[in-house]
Each structure stands twice: as C-alpha cells, then as structure tokens.
Structure 1
Amino acid sequence: MLQTYRVLSSQAGSSAGGWQRLRFDSGAFHLKGTGELTRALLVLRLCAWPSLVTHGLSLQAWSHRLLGSRLSGALLRASIYGQFVAGETVAEVRNCVRQLKHLGLRPLLAVPTEEEPDSAAKTGEAWYEGNLNAMLRCVDLSRGLLETPGPAGNILMQLKMTALTSTWLCKELTSLVRDPKASLEVSPEKLADAMDSTQDLQISCLNAEQTRHFRASLSRLHRVVQYARTQHVRVLVDAEYTSLNPALSLLVAALAMRWNKEGGPWVWNTYQAYLKDTHERLRRDAEAADRAGLAFGVKLVRGAYLDKERKEARLQGTEDPTQPDYETTNQSYNRCLELMLTHVSRRGPLCHLIVASHNEESVHLATKRMWELGIPLDGPVCFGQLLGMCDHVSLALGQAGYAVYKSIPYGSLEEVIPYLIRRAQENRSVLQGARREQELLGQELRRRLLRRT
C-alpha cells in the first residue's frame, strides 16, 4: 500500500506545471484493502434500494427485536455503521483519521444530533445545553486529531444549528427576516452585540420565555465559535430547509461580524445550489462581506432536501423553491462555483471555499479553474465528500495534492444509526447515483480475484 501511495504521489507531482484532468477510476482503490472494498460495494448497493432507505428506522427496530441488541449491533457495525461512521470512542475516531491521513485525506467531524420536534426529550433547554457540550468536545477532538502541528486554520468541523436552537425559533426569525418592517429587530449587528453581553434583547413577536430561549441560543452559538477560534478550528454551519435557512443565514451573519475579522473565516455558511435563489444570495453575501472587510467562508453543496421542499411547496400552495431538474441544478452549482473561485482569486486568504460535491464534472471544473486563476492546490479552496462514499474522487484529489475532507459522523450506534437513516432519506439521489462508484468497486474486486486465480 505504501509503495502504491508513493507512486501515485510522484505521478501527481509530475503534472504540477499545468492542469491535467484527473482520472476518477478504480486505480485509486489500490490504496484500500479487499475487505473495505467488499463492504463498500455491498453497503452502497443496499443504500441504493429505495424501500430499505424509506423503511430504515422500522427495519432497525424490527432487527433489534428479532436478533437482540448484541447481534443486531454487530451486523450494523460490520455494515452501515462501519462504512459511514468513524467510531464511538476517541481511539476509534483517531484510528479512522489516521487511515484517512495515510490516503491523503483530512477529517471534517460532525456531531450526529438534531432536534426532533415531536420528542419532548429532544427539544428542551437541557437537551440544547447537552448538545453545546457535545459541540465543544467536537472542537477539542478536531484539534486533538492533529498529531503534528499543521497550517493554522486547516481544521474544520460541522455544526447543525438546530441542535442548539429550536426550529420554531428559526421559523419565527425567518418570518421577521422576510418582513421589511420587522427585519431591523433582528439585524446581524443587533444580534452580534447581544451574543455575549447583558444587553437587553426585545423581539416583538416573542414572549418572555421565548426571548430567554433566544438569548440562550445566541449564547450557545457564540460559545461554540469563540472556543473554536481559540483552538484554530473553523466551523461550517449546515444548511437545512428553506423555512429555516433565512434564520440560519442571519445567525451566521451575526457570528461572522464577531469572528470573521482576523485569520480568515472562522464561521462559514452553506449554500444549496438546487435552490433557485442561491446564486443571487451568494453574490450578495460575498459582496457584503467584501465591503465590510470581513472574511467569507462558503460550503457549496447541491442540496439534500429536494423531495421534502417540493412537497411542502405543494401543501402550502407556494412556488417550488428548487431548480426544475438535475441539469439546471448543475448549471446553478457551476455558476456559484465560478463566482466563488473568482472571489477567492481576488481576496486570497480572506475568502475560503469547500467544493462539497460527489459530481465528477464539478470537481474537474473546479480544479481547472483553480489552475487558470492561479489558486494553489492546498490553499483557500478545498474539496469535501462523505465518509464511505465517492472514494474514487476523494483519493484521486488527495493523491494529486488537493486538500480533501471527508465528512465524518461519530458516536454510539443509538445516536448515529437514526441520523444515518435520515441522511440517507434526504440524500436518495446521491445514493442512487453512486452506480459508477459501485462499478469501479466491482472492477477492482474482479481484478484482485483474477490476479489470485
């Protein structure tokens, strides 16, 4: 394995004088063991089965009752959990990250938690405070995974805001943001001032109890980013539904005013290219950050909530916020990519981008434009894919010298399996579109089998 790694590294270095289209083929899998490849092929085929994804939570409960917790857990650890999760203990996470580093990849840790509005145990203030402690531990773990000091600020982690604040509050804030008369009540400047002060915060549509929750939510968000900044960890805020995203963007803007002034962006927002208004919002936000002298960090994704967004629009009788088809989504993604790469080339370390995509053509476009714009391979632009998926793209990028992150959930089976099933339900198109990866995995496994016979 080490010999193959050196060969691929030397080949990548030989093309440093000019851009060359990377080969996303089964050759990258030479770096992985046969057991890993076999598990990946089986799990990806299972995840491409719509009925299994749709009824995943019910099947998990049925398996637990039929097989018992020990055997059911062992099967999950050998399959879905083992494929997509770093582990439960710090030692297991470290081992996973060590393997990634040998492959030229970096970790992007994610705490697998989110609000469940129908669960009293997962919406109370104590639950949010528990999640705050989990996020602070994630900062420590992200920092501690660096066995040797690296470039300052190349450590990233993910943050889901609805783990620290309620969805009902986000919906109320979204209504205020969309109302020109009320939007001044919740300006980024006002929220930034209220985050770590005793300044009175009065929002007309909130009662006293709701206002206390709002203040506590602001404090939790501020504490996470403040602590992450001291540990040189950059926080990437996940996007969610369109009913919540304006509020999330407002909160990110307030955090950015506090923390994106020195050392590049310490809090980033996520932009979903499958929404019709994304390019315009991204352009507006990038220009606003430039005018204010703030650093700007962006995670660019296609989006994961397509079916639910369209269903909600039909139920509400409103315009569908999503692009009409996959091709227009691709066009939107590429326009946003071009916009951000242009800003990066002009603003340098004050503008950061993670190209979070499993789409080979988008990755090719990004690498080509980086070369044309003179953006260094290991600079303010990086790439991201999910742990356990799209390894043929991740490995090829990593061996060519690009900065590549794998989004890594970690935690116990009880915490992570429901999280994984929900993510699978939201990412059906990604899972069903992994046919090429399955083909490449099959090719490599057949090659190894024929070599041994």
Structure 2
Amino acid sequence: MATRVLSSSPKLLNNLRSFIKPLNSASAAAASPLNFDEKPELSTVEKQHPIATTLHQPTTTLDLDDHQKLFASVPTLKLLRSSVNLGLASNETFVDFGMWVMNSRLMETPLLRDIVLKTVKHTFFEHFCAGETTTEAGECVRKIQEAGLRGMLVYAVEHTSDNAGCDRNLEGFLQSVEFAKSLPPSSVSFVIAKITAICPISLLKRMSDLLRWQYKDSSLNLPWKLNTLPIFTDSSPLYHTLQRPQPLSAQEESDLELAHQRLLKLCQKCAQYNVPLTIDAEDTSIQPAIDYFTYSSAIMYNKDDNPIVYGTMQAYLKDARERLFNTARTAEKLGIPMGFKLVRGAYMSSETKLASSLGFDSPVHNTIQDTHACFNDCASFMIKKIAD
C-alpha cells in the first residue's frame, strides 16, 4: 500500500492539477514535496512510554478475504466516500473532464478556482495522499500499521529538467529517509524514489536510446556504463530507437556523473538508516536508463541477505515476465540479492499510442486477463524465491 506524502506549502493548492493527472493512465505529473519543517507529534502514550511504539506489532494474521474484519475499523461514511472517489477516478470521461477544468480559463476566476480546489482537496487529495504535513503523514502511517499493514513513503516529485532542481529533490529524498526512520519500527516498508527527479529527463532519454542500440549492436561502446544486470530481452520494445544515436556529449556525461552521485548519496543514507529504497518505474521511453541506475546501484549496495535497492516491474508489459526471470537469475548467479516492487502499470494509453504511431504493436498486454496472468506468474516466482 503506497501513501503519498505532500506539502502544506502554498504551492499545494496552486498546483492541484498535478494531483489530477496521475488518475489518467496516459499521464504523469510532479506533486508538491513534504513539509519537513514540521516534526511528527508523539501521542500521549508515546510521550509517557517511548518504548511502547517499538514493541507494538500486529498480533493477528491479515486475511484479505475477510472484508468485514478488514474494514471493521473504518467508518461506513469513509468507506462510501472511498468507493465514490475510486469510481470517479476509474471513469475516463470524468477524469478527462476534470483535467479540462483544471487546465481551463475557468481556474482564472477566483471564486470558481477556490471551489474547485477545495473540492479536489476534500475528495481525491484526502483519498490518495497521506497528508499535507509530516505530522499528518505520520498519523496515517500509524493507522495503516494498526490495521496490520505497512506503508511506502512517496516523495512525490519527478520529471526535472535541470541540475539545480535535481539537487533540491535529492535533499527531499534524503529527508524522506530520515522521516521514515523516525516513525515506529516496521511501519514503513520502503521509501520510493523517482530517478526522473534526480536526473534530467532529456538525459534519461539519451541514455535509454544508447542502451537500446547497444542491445541491438553489442559493438557499441558506452564508456560511461557501469556494471549492471540485464535490462532487455528479445521481446523488449526497442522501436523507440530506430537509428544509431550519437554518443553522450561531454556535458551530458558530466550531468550523468552528477545524477549517479545523487543516487549513491541516497543509497548511502538508506544503508545508514537501514531503510529500503525502491526505484519507481516510468514509461518505456526512459525505463532502460532507470533500470540501469537501479541495477548498477543495487550491485554496489545489496549485500548478503539485506538488499537496500529494489526495482519496479510493470506486469502490464509483455516482456515483464521474461525480464524479471532473467534479471533475478543473473543477480542470483552474481550473489546479489535483488528485490522488486510488482505493479501492473500506469501508461497504457500513451504506450499504445506511441507504438501505433511508429507502426509497432503495443508493448502492453492485449487484455487485462493477460496482465493479471503475468502479474500472478511474477508474484509466484518471487514468492518461490523467498520460500527457497
């Protein structure tokens, strides 16, 4: 279960269109960061007995089929609101209309803007976001833990275009790790990071082009490339790169080194606090570079039976099963513990549209049943590896 943690700064409501866009599978947008000026308040019990939170563990096994017990602690009104929010978020027509409103000139009218933003804040924002402050986020994480679950903290920034912005985002990620460590033990499973937030998006596209071409032509030398795990299989989409790319320029290589150092600094912080880091996935145009960053850092920081860096595998992609099996087996041979966050995917419309425009089949499974089957196969493979 992922909990998005967002800021209480004035930019929050000024940029609420950012929170609407992720509801459409064809788009992704940056969201406001955490407000780290506020520290989570301890409850009265915690103030009197600080050790109490370290001893609290769920005492029963969570049964996802027992809906009555699962949602017993959730008020009926909240369940109804959640059902309505999810229903609206799954309605493509409604989402498109909402995006049109948020980007229209209607938002220039103060009264209408205030009504729209307050409506969004008390519906979709409250449903999908852990809170506006670290205090609210901490309380949300505690409630999740009491229900027998653990949260994943998402510092919701991405798609940065310059090094200055990447440096600012890195500081936010580092503080996210510190915040996760301040919460009750075992209440947070991962901190989620976006490579697009610490490496310029244009560079990720250039790197992905070069990595794809090297897979096609192994004679291509990439002097900047570090040791990594397999990124492609024969079924991976390579149509994004139809001609041999130019090598990275001196400036691009310099930017790459800066991005690499940012990620290593984040990995070091996670290793220091023993907080696992999951690198989130993006669309296939830049995913090769993201996998490269993920695997090269995993080789450095995943030691013994305590992996720090995890990847993300999107089961709606036709090559997901083969890539997962191939990468995991290679990591095992090298003695590198490698873990993955398994998701279905979020870019169905844009992936299909791009492939079609270039005259290729979509990289996404043709039916939801195929996606479910791929997800289940990947999950079974991972569970078996854990059991072994």
Which consecutive unaligned segments of at least 5 residues does structure 1 have? 1-8, 16-20, 116-121, 192-202, 347-453
Uncovered stretches (5+) of structure 2, i.e. residues with no partner: 1-57, 230-244
Greater relative contact order (CA < 8 Å, ≥ 6 in sequence):
1
Local SS of the residue matching 2:131: coil
Q: Quote the residue 2:145 is aligned against.
A: 101
CA contact (8 A) 1:110 1:157 kept: yes
Q: 2:96 maps to what in 1?
A: 54
Structure 2 equivalent of residue 228 of structure 1: 270
Deviations 1:223-265 (A, max 9, x none): 1111111111111111111111111111111101110014511
Q: Which residue of 2 aligns with 1:429?
A: none
Identity %: 28
Aligned pairs (5 A) from 1:414-425: none
Cα offsets for 1:69-115 (capped at 9, x unmatched): 65544333321111111111111111211222222222201011111
* Distance in 1 between residues matched to 2:350 and 2:276, nearest whole Å: 30
C-alpha deviation, 1:331, in angstroms = 1.7
Distance 1:64 1:46, change over 3 A: farther
C-alpha contact (below 8 Å) 1:188/1:251 kept by paired residues: no
Give the direction of change, closer, same or farther, for the CA distance of 1:318–1:168 in structure 2 (3 Å limit): farther
Within 5 Å, which residues of 2 pair with 1:169-180? 169-178=203-212, 179=214, 180=218
Give the corresponding residue for 1:131.
169
Cα separation, partners in 2 of 1:245 and 1:190, compared to 1, 3 Å? closer
Q: In the alignment, does 2:326 pair up with 1:284?
A: yes
The residue aligned with 1:65 is 109
SS in 1 for 2:109: helix
Deviations 1:338-364 (A, max 9, x none): 222222222xxxxxxxxxxxxxxxxxx
C-alpha distance 327-41 of structure 1, shift in aligned 2 (>3 A): closer
* Contact 2:150/2:186 (8 A) holds in 1: no
Alignment equivalent of 1:91, drawn from 130, 135, 140: 135
For normalisation by structure 2, the TM-score amounts to 0.73
Rounded Cα–Cα distance in structure 1 between residues aligned with 2:362 and 2:92: 24
The alignment status of 1:164 with 2:198, answered yes or no, reads yes
Structure 1 CA distance, aligned partners of 2:343 and 2:87?
A: 23
Distance 1:211 1:297 in 2: 29
Q: State how many pairs are aligned.
A: 310
SS at match of 2:93: helix
Hey, what does 2:238 align to over in structure 1?
none
The residue type equivalent to 1:227 in the other structure is: K
> TM-score normalized by structure 1?
0.63
Deviation at 1:190, TM superposition (A): 8.4
- Aligned Cα root-mean-square deviation (Å): 2.6
Q: 1:64 to 1:107 in 2, by over 3 A?
A: farther
2:306, 2:337 within 8 Å by CA — same for their partners in 1? yes
Partner Cα separation in structure 1 for residue 128 and residue 266 of structure 2: 25
Deviation, structure 1 residue 318: 2.5
| Contact residue 174 and residue 245 of structure 1 kept, 8 A | yes
Cα separation, 2, equivalents of 1:63 and 1:47:
21
Q: Which residue of 2 aligns with 1:142?
A: 180
Pair 1:64–1:140, CA change in 2 (3 A): farther
Residue identity in the other structure for 2:205: K
Residue 132 of structure 1 and its aligned partner are, at CA, apart by: 0.7
Note the alpha carbon deviations across 1:258-289, whole angstroms, 9 max, x for none.
10014511011111111111111111111111
Cα deviation per residue 1:19-74 (whole Å; 9 max; x = unaligned)? xx852534422211234223213322322332221243332353573536655443
Aligned partner (choices 204, 226, 229) of residue 188 of structure 1: 226
- Distance verdict in 2 for CA 1:317–1:183, change over 3 Å: farther
* Rounded Cα–Cα distance in structure 1 between residues aligned with 2:299 and 2:110: 53
Q: Distance in 2 between matches of 1:211 and 1:287?
A: 31
Sort the Cα spacing of 1:49 and 1:155 in 2 relative to 1 into closer, same or farther, 3 A. Answer: closer
Larger helix fraction of residues: 1
Aligned equivalent of 1:370: none
Aligned twin of 1:241? 283
Q: Could you say if the C-alpha distance between residues 307 and 87 of structure 1 is closer, same or farther in structure 2, counting changes exceeding 3 Å?
A: same
